[in-house]
Structure formats: C-alpha cells, structure tokens
C-alpha cells in the first residue's frame, strides 16, 4: 500500500507555486493542435505544488494538471488536477476546492473532447483560435464543461489521464486498494423454528451469485434445494429474505422459472419449495396465501419464454396468485435518468453551456415567458419518465408490504435474473415492514443482505471495473466503456461550430444502469413522507450514495459476494460503513447524518403508505444540487433547527452562578426570537 503523504510543515499557496513555473511549463509546448492531437502525454513528473497537498486524500497522487482552466458552468478559472481518485478543481482566486468541478473518476459516466470554432469578427482573417473544451457527464446528475487554453497540450494531457485512470489495467490500480483494510461483519438470525440455514452454497458451487448461507424451509432437504435451483434462471432458487416474527409470513426472492415458450415445463422440487413458503405457524386459523410478484411487465415475461424463461402458472403452485408490476428494465432506467439529467442541465442555473436558464432563448427560463414554452418544458420533465419509474417501484413495494402485514400472506418476488428489480422491491418492502431497517445499523444490514450478498451486479450497474478470469488466474479488469456518444447539442447556446471526439459505446453492450441510485431515491421519498420514522437523514443518503458512486471503498466492488471474497476486497480496501460511523461518532446525535426528528416510538410497526401518498417529487438535495444549488437547500431548515437545539443545549449547560434566572430566561427568549 502506498505510504500517505506527510502534511506537516508550512504549506505554500498555489499562486506562489505557479509563479515559479516557467511559461513553457505551464503551456506544455505550443504549435498546431492537429499535430499533437495524438501525442502520448506521460503523467506529471515534476513535483506537485505544496499548496495542493493539503487537499489530497491518503495515497492520492496527481497524474496530470492543467492551468488557467475555466469551468464553463460558472465561468470560474482555476487549476484542474487529475489524480488516481478524482478530478480536482481549485479556484484561481481563493484556492479552495470548487465542488461542482471536483468529481471522483468512478462517478464519471462519459467524457468527451469538444472543439468549438468561434465566429471571426468582420474584416478580420479567420485565425480566431478554437475553444478547446472537455465535457464530463457524471452519474450523480451533473454535466460540467472545462475550457482549456488554445494551442497547448493541457486538454490532451487531462483527457489521456482520464482514459488511463478510469479504465485501470489491473484491479489493484483502483484507489480503493490504497486505503487499508476495514471490515463490516454481518450476522444471520432465525426468528422461528420453521426455517433453517442450508450450507449447500457454502462454496458458491450451486449459485455463484447467491450468498454462502441461504434461509430455506426446514422441511426442504439439501438435495431438493439443488434440484430446485436447476429450474430457476442462473440457479437463483426461491429463498427467504425476511420473516414476520408473529405470523410467520415470509418475503422471499428468486429469479424467473425456466418454463419455456409454451409455459409447460415444471419442477416438482421448485413447486414443493415454493409451497413450503406458506408453512403455517402453530395456532394459525387458516392456511396462508402465496402471492408471486413478477416485477416485469406481463408482455416482457411472456417474451422471456422464447428464451427459456417466463413466469409461473398459478395452477402449478399451491394457493398462489400471480401479479405483474410492470417495472421496466435496466436500459429504460438508464435512458430515463439521462433525460432527467439533460433536462436539469438545460433548465438549471449552472448549465454546462455557461448560460443561466433565465437568459436562454433571449428571455426567461420558459422561452421568454411564453406559456406554451413553459408547458413544453414541464412536459420534458414528465417525458423523462424518472418519477413515474420511482412511483412504480414504490407502489410495488408498498403492495408487497401490505400483503405481508395485513393479510399475513407470503410473497415471492422475482424479475428475470432476480438481482435488479427484485432487489429494489424486496429491500424496500423490508424497510417498510421492519423498523430495525430504518436505523443506521439496520440500513447497513439491509444493504449488505439484499444488495451485496444476493449478488446485485454493482460493477456492471454502477460502471465499475469487473473481475475476469477464474481459478488461480490473476484478476484483471475489463471495464464498460467510460466514454461514449453525447447529446446532439452539448453546447446549446454557443455560437459557431463544434466537433467532438469520443469513443463509441453501445447501450446494447453496456450494462450500466442507475438501479441502486433509483432505490436510494425511493428511500428518500419514504423519508420525506415519514420524517419521524428514520434514524438517518436525507444528507446521509446523499453522502452514502456519493461514496458508492465514487468507488472509494471496497464494499461495492465486484458483482457478487463470491467475487469480493476471491479478490480479497475486505482484506485490502477501506469499509464504507466504518467511514460513515466514524463521521457520526465525531459529533454524536448532532451530526448531519442523524435525523433530528427521529422518534422510534411513533412508528414501531410497519409503514403502509396509501396509493394516494405515493406521488414522488424530485429529490432536491441530490437531483438539484449541481444544476440549481440555491434551490437544493431543502435541508437548510433542518440544519437551522439542529443549530438551535445545539445552542440551546449549550445554554442549559452554563453553571448556575454565571447567570441568574432572569438573565437565563431573557437569553432563551432572545435566542428563539432571533432564530425562528
């Protein structure tokens, strides 16, 4: 592991450090851009200015840099550094980090070079230098553009560094492997005598994408478990995710059954296993009903039959009812989020073309105040489909929770492979049914259980490096393309012509999709709906999601529990949960990750939101923070309340001799008047 830098001693400002560089060093050579376009640029070999060291994380190293770079979104000038972890943009004036222009490399979805030809003034020769731009599209809803000095190699150096660092040749080149090991240990418990933990997958031989320990009905033998696995896609047989401690109703998950085109293929072992999910507890008055919730649209399930998959028939499964939720696939979700991101960039205050939406089209945000233009813009938000997708996932999860809580029915959830839509629905239903999962420790256990252990392919879906090879072969990385085609108008209002250069990427071959981001969005909707029911705050969810997208920790690397064990992630990488817990420990319950309004006694049972309440809105702290930073401060009121409570607590701790009762009362009254 790389040795951390020593930050002791006086630090030199970036401005002083820059002044010591010669002009040729800053410009990195001059000449025709076409002549140097494909020149290989090596990482920065000269020493990094001392003023930068204070901003670097442990083992973070500078790979390339650019001076006099302009962040087009806000028209701020500064210095751009490419490190082994992120793009770091420092303001030219204050020498502070500019958050909008600083983004972890793993959070970058696409990047593209744009050359824009500016129009020449009348009666002047056509020798106006072109604008050299670099567009960065992030998975966290931001689109940023950097402008570089003409006739320099700086943009090329930054672009080449991004190509190398966002697609490392080896797993060990990831920044996550430089921070040292830390672990989060999960445990398994049984709530009654009807179930058992089977060791049949202890070596991941039955199902490489399932956890090593599986909870199954006690009357199902290991041999029957193995037989049932052969009837499910990728051997992801029905297993239990959660059990109601009072009624014995279970929430189970699997992949689609392999019934075939005619839906006539059957498996006695699979049917027996599914029927056993409805095992009655002692004293139950009537047999439990079983719902089989297929997350897909019905037509998609039938289409999968042509490839050997399909959906169950209620006549083959005891006391069962089949329900289709109509949730679209990963490709629809990826396209939907891309449309939402483009909408926010177009109509935001810090758009990537450098123009406020209030000035676009020569007038106000809505096309000069024209009401028809306003309606068209609102339709664009609706046409993205993101909020409808969120609502569909929320509605499906609420339906599942209601069946378990109100009818004491068991529910088996699956989609095609059982690791995307299934995981969203099951984990949200867990969150609604069990107040434990609405605490910090419970939320961690929920993510570890239903997302990580049950094999949600994080490397594919979040666009991280994936492991290839098997046996004793060394682990290599093959990464989905990190560059790709761009929106048809990357610079909407810029005059002149432009050309762009990017590597082509095919969505058909790209498995990136914001499935986990969408799930966290759903959690945020529930938190706003039930502000007293969650121990954690919306700020916690934003920081948590940023950590996942940044690939800074090892928890979310690889596609399965098996891959993480084989690559030794937990022994070499930092742990996200430990990092977040250390942040909270520094301030206790007053930390911004703690929900100030949390009242565990108010919601001791399940949360069962009615359909009318499931009307999601944009998540301001996440969706709007880059495009509309002022409007994204939805948590400002909570922050003010937190400060009031903290200051009032400090007043109460004052020793009695220092203040008389009247003075204390006057202080309290004046404090409240000044903050309410």
Q: Quote the pLDDT of residue 471.
A: 35
Q: Is the pLDDT of residue 361 over 50?
A: no
pLDDT tens column, 612-635: 999 999 999 999 999 998 888 765
pLDDT tens column, 292-308: 999 999 999 999 999 99
CB 2 within 8 A of CB 59: yes
Q: Provide Rg for the chain, Cα atoms.
A: 28
Instruction: Please give the structure tokens belonging to residue 176.
Output: 């996550």
Q: Quote the pLDDT of residue 445.
A: 96
Instruction: Please give the structure tokens belonging to residue 79.
Output: 């210095």
The alpha helices in 290-329, defined as continuous H runs, are 298-305
Edge to edge, what strands does the sheet with 320-324 contain?
239-243, 250-254, 410-414, 290-294, 320-324
Q: Quote the pLDDT of residue 416.
A: 97
pLDDT tens column, 50-80: 678 889 998 899 999 999 999 999 999 999 9
Residues 6+ apart with CB under 8 A from 657: none
Q: Quote the pLDDT of residue 183.
A: 55
Question: How would you class 604 by CB atoms within 10 Å of its CB: exposed for 0-12, middle for 13-18, buried for 19 or more?
Answer: exposed
Q: What is the mean pLDDT of residues 241-251?
A: 92
Q: Is the pLDDT of residue 506 over 50?
A: no
Q: Is the pLDDT of residue 107 over 80?
A: yes
Which among 179, 235, 415, 558 is annotated as catalytic?
Answer: 415
Comparing 477 with 70, the larger pLDDT belongs to: 70
Q: What is the mean pLDDT of residues 153-176?
A: 86
For residues 527 and 542, what is the distance between their CA atoms, to the nearest angstrom?
13
Comparing 237 with 648, the larger pLDDT belongs to: 237
Q: What is the mean pLDDT of residues 508-526?
A: 90
Q: Quote the pLDDT of residue 111.
A: 95
Q: Is the pLDDT of residue 171 over 80?
A: no
Instruction: Please give the structure tokens belonging to residue 592.
Output: 């911004």
Q: Quote the pLDDT of residue 492.
A: 46
Q: Return the HEC string of 446-493.
A: HHHHHHHHCCCCHHHHCCCCEEECCCCCCCEEECCCCCCCCCCCCCCC
Give the number of residues written for the chain: 676
Numbers of helices and strands, H then E, in the chain: 22, 17
Q: Quote the pLDDT of residue 316.
A: 93
Question: How would you class 451 by CB atoms within 10 Å of its CB: exposed for 0-12, middle for 13-18, buried for 19 or more?
Answer: buried
Instruction: Please give the structure tokens belonging to residue 256.
Output: 């689609």
CB 457 within 8 A of CB 480: no
Residues 6+ apart with CB under 8 A from 91: 76, 77, 78, 97, 98
Instruction: Please give the structure tokens belonging to residue 60.
Output: 């973070």
Q: Is the pLDDT of residue 34 over 50?
A: no
For residues 232 and 256, what is the distance between their CA atoms, to the nearest angstrom?
6
User: Any known ligand binding at 375?
Assistant: no
For residues 277 and 227, what is the distance between their CA atoms, to the nearest angstrom?
17
User: Any known ligand binding at 419?
Assistant: yes
User: Any known ligand binding at 63?
Assistant: no
Pairing of strands 290-294, 410-414: parallel
User: Any known ligand binding at 329?
Assistant: yes
pTM here? 0.84
CB 497 within 8 A of CB 117: yes
| CA end-to-end span of the chain | 51
For residues 529 and 276, what is the distance between their CA atoms, to the nearest angstrom?
36
Question: How would you class 590 by CB atoms within 10 Å of its CB: exposed for 0-12, middle for 13-18, buried for 19 or more?
Answer: middle
Alpha carbon 571 to chain centroid distance?
Answer: 24
Helix (H, G, I), strand (E, B) or coil at 154: helix
Comparing 650 with 456, the larger pLDDT belongs to: 456
Band of the pLDDT at 211, cuts 50, 70, 90? very high
Residues 6+ apart with CB under 8 A from 166: 105, 106, 108, 111, 479, 482
User: Any known ligand binding at 167?
Assistant: no
Band of the pLDDT at 91, cuts 50, 70, 90? very high
Q: What are phi and psi of 620, to 5 degrees?
A: -55, -45
The alpha helices in 82-215, defined as continuous H runs, are 154-166
Alpha carbon 82 to chain centroid distance?
Answer: 22
Alpha carbon 474 to chain centroid distance?
Answer: 29
Strands (DSSP E) along 545-665, which ranges? none
For residues 320 and 268, what is the distance between their CA atoms, to the nearest angstrom?
16
Domains, the chain, with CATH or none: 50-119+128-167 (2.30.29.30), 195-330+390-459 (3.90.190)
CB 384 within 8 A of CB 343: yes
Q: What is the mean pLDDT of residues 365-382?
A: 58
Q: What is the mean pLDDT of residues 240-263?
A: 93
User: Any known ligand binding at 416?
Assistant: yes
CB 107 within 8 A of CB 149: no
Band of the pLDDT at 166, cuts 50, 70, 90? confident
pLDDT tens column, 592-612: 999 999 999 999 999 999 999
Comparing 130 with 202, the larger pLDDT belongs to: 202
Mean pLDDT of the chain: 80
Q: Measuring CA to CA, which residue among 408, 446, 198, 196 is closest to residue 319?
A: 408
How many percent of the chain have pLDDT more than 70? 73
User: Any known ligand binding at 418?
Assistant: yes
For residues 411 and 249, what is the distance between their CA atoms, to the nearest angstrom?
8
- 165 counts as catalytic: no
Q: What is the mean pLDDT of residues 423-428?
A: 98
Comparing 670 with 140, the larger pLDDT belongs to: 140
Question: How would you class 318 by CB atoms within 10 Å of its CB: exposed for 0-12, middle for 13-18, buried for 19 or more?
Answer: middle
Comparing 9 with 454, the larger pLDDT belongs to: 454
């Amino acid at each position: 592991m790389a040795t951390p830098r020593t930050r002791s001693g006086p630090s030199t400002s970036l401005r002083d450090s820059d002044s010591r560089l010669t002009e040729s060093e800053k410009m990195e050579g001059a000449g025709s851009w076409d002549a140097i376009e494909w020149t290989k640029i090596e990482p920065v070999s000269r020493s990094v200015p001392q003023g930068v060291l204070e901003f670097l994380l442990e083992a973070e190293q500078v790979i390339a840099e650019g001076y006099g770079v302009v962040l087009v979104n806000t028209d701020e000038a500064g210095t751009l550094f490419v490190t082994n972890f992120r793009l770091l943009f420092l303001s030219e004036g204050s020498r502070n980090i500019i958050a909008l222009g600083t983004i972890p490399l793993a959070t970058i979805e696409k990047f593209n070079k744009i050359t824009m030809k500016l129009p020449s003034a009348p009666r002047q020769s056509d020798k106006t230098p072109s604008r050299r731009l670099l567009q960065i599209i992030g998975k966290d809803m931001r689109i940023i553009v950097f402008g570089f000095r003409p006739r320099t190699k700086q943009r090329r150096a930054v672009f080449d560094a991004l190509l190398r660092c966002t697609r490392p040749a080896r797993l060990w080149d990831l920044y996550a492997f430089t921070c040292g090991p830390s672990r989060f240990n999960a445990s398994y418990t049984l709530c009654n005598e009807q179930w058992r933990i089977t060791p049949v997958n202890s070596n991941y031989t039955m199902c490489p994408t399932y956890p090593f320990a599986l909870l199954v009905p006690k009357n199902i033998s290991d041999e029957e478990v193995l037989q049932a696995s052969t009837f499910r896609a990728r051997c992801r047989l029905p297993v239990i995710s959660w059990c109601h401690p009072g009624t014995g109703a279970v929430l189970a998950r699997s992949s689609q059954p392999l019934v075939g085109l005619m839906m006539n293929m059957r498996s006695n072992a699979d049917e027996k296993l599914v029927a056993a999910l409805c095992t009655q507890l002692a004293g139950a008055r009537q047999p439990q009903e079983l719902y089989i919730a297929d997350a897909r649209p019905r037509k998609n399930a039938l289409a999968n039959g042509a490839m050997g998959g399909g959906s169950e028939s209620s006549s083959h499964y005891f006391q069962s009812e089949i329900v289709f939720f109509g949730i679209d696939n990963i490709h629809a979700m990826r396209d939907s989020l891309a449309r939402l991101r483009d909408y926010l960039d177009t109509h935001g205050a810090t758009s990537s073309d450098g123009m406020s939406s209030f000035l676009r089209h020569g007038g106000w945000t809505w096309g000069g105040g024209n009401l028809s233009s306003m309606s068209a813009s609102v339709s664009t938000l609706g046409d993205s489909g993101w909020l409808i997708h969120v609502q569909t996932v929320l509605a499906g999860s609420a339906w599942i929770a209601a069946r378990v809580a109100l009818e004491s029915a068991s529910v088996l959830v699956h989609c095609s492979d059982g690791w995307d839509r299934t995981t969203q629905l099951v984990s949200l239903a867990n969150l609604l049914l069990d107040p434990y999962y609405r605490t910090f420790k419970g939320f961690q256990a929920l993510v570890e259980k239903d997302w990580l252990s049950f094999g949600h392919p994080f490397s594919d879906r979040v666009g991280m490096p994936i492991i290839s090879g098997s046996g004793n072969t060394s682990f290599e990385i093959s990464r989905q393309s990190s560059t790709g085609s761009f929106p048809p108008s990357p610079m909407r209002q810029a005059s002149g012509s432009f050309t762009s250069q990017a590597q082509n990427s095919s969505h058909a071959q790209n498995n990136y999709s914001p499935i986990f981001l969408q799930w966290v969005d759903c959690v945020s909707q529930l938190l706003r709906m039930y502000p007293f029911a969650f121990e954690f705050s919306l700020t916690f969810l934003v920081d948590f999601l940023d950590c996942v997208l940044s690939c800074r920790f090892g928890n979310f690397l690889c596609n399965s529990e098996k891959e993480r064990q084989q690559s030794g992630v937990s022994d070499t990488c930092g742990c996200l949960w430990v990092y977040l817990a250390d942040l909270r420990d520094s301030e206790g319950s007053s930390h911004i990750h703690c929900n100030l309004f949390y009242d565990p006694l108010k919601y001791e049972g399940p949360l069962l939101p009615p359909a009318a309440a499931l009307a999601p809105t944009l998540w301001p702290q996440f969706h709007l923070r880059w495009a509309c930073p002022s409007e994204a401060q939805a948590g400002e009121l909570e922050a003010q309340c937190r400060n009031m409570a903290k200051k009032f607590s400090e007043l109460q701790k004052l020793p009695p001799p220092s203040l008389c009762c009247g003075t204390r009362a006057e202080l309290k009254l004046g404090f409240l008047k000044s903050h309410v």
